[in-house]
């Protein structure tokens, strides 16, 4: 009996050692980061499902139940976490939680000038739900340059490769704490990923050198950290998480004409209605830049290319 018990314990220990670390992340690009640092032995699940907005996501009961088996949750500071982190922690008090936004200097979201229009219901209610949780933000105020409103932090950290490198340091360290035996592998994976991020950063800088226009117009302002890193300015079409009203839309069209904008950028998780209106008014086009794509490195190379294209004067119009 004693022998059998010992054998059983050995088997249990053996199988426990072979178990992959189970990790949950909030958004899809984080899955790539954890897999790059963790290697093939890590099981990563993503909370925000494809096509959903990280600002308003509600985890499913099945996802919450799966947290009971998780070793680690990597948060990033997207808005749904504000409402859900308490319940996520409560679902598994033994689970480690790493907040990748810790230690990063968070920028404020672009606050567009208020256009004095009350927030009216738009046809696209499904999209207008994608608000940035601007609680207490007075609709319809004429924000005449008085900075009295609390600034909303921008949660889209991962659009900047140098910040992803910083996030990857935290991922390497926490994986090593949870699984010291594989520490050398995590360190080597991190080094390889870090080198690739440096090369990506350099390639984007080169691609975006010498553009005639360093401003770009985008429906949902998810590219603030990217813009800050590479000396660009994003102009948001969205107004406090909603489609712009007629006055704001007219002002945007006017601005796009003045600045000779050629492309308006959208992402798949949000409405392209207002972007299409601006684009058609200026004879421009709508382009997709997805901040939630899984293939992080290739996606950012594509983003740099379309921005370079849009910021270069059209030779035919010279």
Residue in 100, 68, 112 with CA at minimum distance from that of residue 87: 68
CA distances from 92 to 66, 86, 170, 265 (A): 9, 10, 21, 39
Closer residue to Zn ion in complex, CB, 96/273: 273
User: Binder to Zn ion among 21, 88, 175, 222 (CB under 5 A)?
Assistant: 222
Nearer to Zn ion, 38 or 77 (CB): 77
Q: Least distance from C-beta 80 to Zn ion, angstroms?
A: 10
CB 277 within 8 A of CB 249: yes
- Judged by CB under 5 A, the stretch of 18-26, 30-38, 99-107, 220-228 that binds Zn ion is 220-228
Q: For residues 141 and 118, is the Cβ–Cβ distance under 8 A? A: no
Could you give the CA distance from residue 272 to residue 65 in angstroms, rounded to a whole number?
35
Helices and strands in the chain, H and E counts: 11, 8
Give the Cα separation of 188 and 144 in Å (integer): 52
Stretch that binds Zn ion, among 57-65, 158-166, 217-225, 299-307 (CB under 5 A): 217-225
Q: Which residues 111-150 are close enough to bind Zn ion by CB under 5 A?
A: none
CB of 53 to Zn ion, least distance (A): 7
User: Closest approach of Cβ 81 to Zn ion, in Å?
Assistant: 13
Residue 100 Cβ vs Zn ion, minimum distance, rounded to whole Å: 16
- Restricted to residues 173-202, the positions that interact with Zn ion (CB under 5 A) are none
| Min separation Cβ 52 and Zn ion, Å | 11
Question: How far is it, in rounded angstroms, from Cα 265 to Cα 272?
Answer: 9
Measured from the CB atom, is 129 or 247 closer to Zn ion?
129
To Zn ion, the closest distance from the beta carbon of 94 in angstroms equals 31
Residue 179 or 290: which CB sits closer to Zn ion?
290
Nearer to Zn ion by Cβ, of 72 and 222: the residue is 222
Rounded to the nearest 5°, which phi and psi values hold at 55?
Answer: -85, -25
Tell me the H-state helices in the chain: 2-18, 28-38, 61-66, 79-91, 125-128, 161-178, 183-207, 224-230, 246-258, 273-282, 296-310
Question: DSSP 3-state assignment of 315?
Answer: helix
Residue 38 or 112 having the CB closest to Zn ion = 112
Residue closer to Zn ion by CB (options 33, 190) is 33
User: Do residues 165 and 197 make contact, with C-beta atoms less than 8 angstroms apart?
Assistant: yes
Q: Which of 127, 157, 82 is nearest to 241 (CA)?
A: 127
Residues 8 and 276: their CA atoms lie apart, in Å, by 64
Closer to Zn ion by CB, 37 or 131: give it.
131
Binding residue count for Zn ion, defined by CB under 5 A = 1
- Under 8 Å between Cβ of 204 and 301: yes
Residue 78 CB coordination number (10 Å): 25
Residue nearest to Zn ion according to CB distances in the complex = 222
Cβ distance to Zn ion smaller for residue 157 or 252 = 157
CB of 172 to Zn ion, least distance (A): 26
Task: Tell me if 76 contacts Zn ion by CB under 5 A.
Answer: no
- Stretch near Zn ion under the rule CB under 5 A, chosen from 64-72, 168-176, 216-224, 300-308: 216-224
Stretch that binds Zn ion, among 84-92, 215-223, 253-261, 299-307 (CB under 5 A): 215-223
- Positions touching Zn ion (CB under 5 A) are 222
């Amino acid at each position: 009996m004693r022998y059998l018990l010992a054998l059983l314990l050995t088997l249990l220990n053996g199988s426990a050692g072979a178990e992959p670390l189970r990790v949950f992340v909030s958004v899809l690009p984080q899955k790539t980061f954890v897999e790059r640092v963790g290697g093939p032995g890590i099981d990563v699940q993503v909370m925000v499902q494809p096509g959903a907005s990280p600002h308003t996501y509600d985890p499913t009961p099945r996802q919450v139940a799966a947290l009971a088996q998780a070793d680690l949750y990597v948060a990033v500071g997207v808005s749904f976490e504000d409402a859900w982190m308490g319940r996520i922690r409560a679902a598994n008090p033994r689970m480690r939680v790493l907040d990748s936004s810790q230690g990063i200097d968070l920028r404020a979201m672009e606050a567009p000038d208020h256009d004095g229009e009350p927030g009216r219901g738009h046809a696209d209610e499904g999209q207008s739900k994608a608000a940035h949780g601007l609680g207490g933000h007075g609709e319809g105020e004429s924000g005449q340059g008085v900075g009295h409103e609390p600034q909303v932090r921008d949660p889209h950290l991962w659009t900047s490769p140098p910040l992803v490198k910083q996030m990857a340091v935290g991922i390497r360290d926490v994986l090593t704490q949870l699984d010291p035996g594989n520490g050398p592998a995590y360190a080597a994976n991190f080094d390889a990923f870090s080198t690739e991020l440096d090369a990506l950063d350099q390639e984007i800088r080169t691609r975006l050198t010498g553009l005639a226009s360093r401003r770009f117009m985008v429906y949902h302002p998810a590219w603030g950290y990217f813009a800050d890193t590479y000396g660009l300015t994003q102009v948001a079409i969205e107004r406090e998480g909603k489609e712009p009203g007629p006055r704001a839309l007219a002002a945007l069209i006017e601005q796009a004409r003045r600045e000779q904008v050629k492309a308006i950028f959208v992402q798949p998780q949000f409405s392209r209605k207002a972007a299409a209106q601006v684009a058609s008014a200026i004879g421009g086009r709508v382009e997709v830049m997805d901040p939630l794509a899984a293939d992080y490195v290739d996606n950012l190379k594509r983003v740099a290319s379309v921005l370079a294209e849009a910021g270069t004067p059209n030779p035919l119009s010279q």
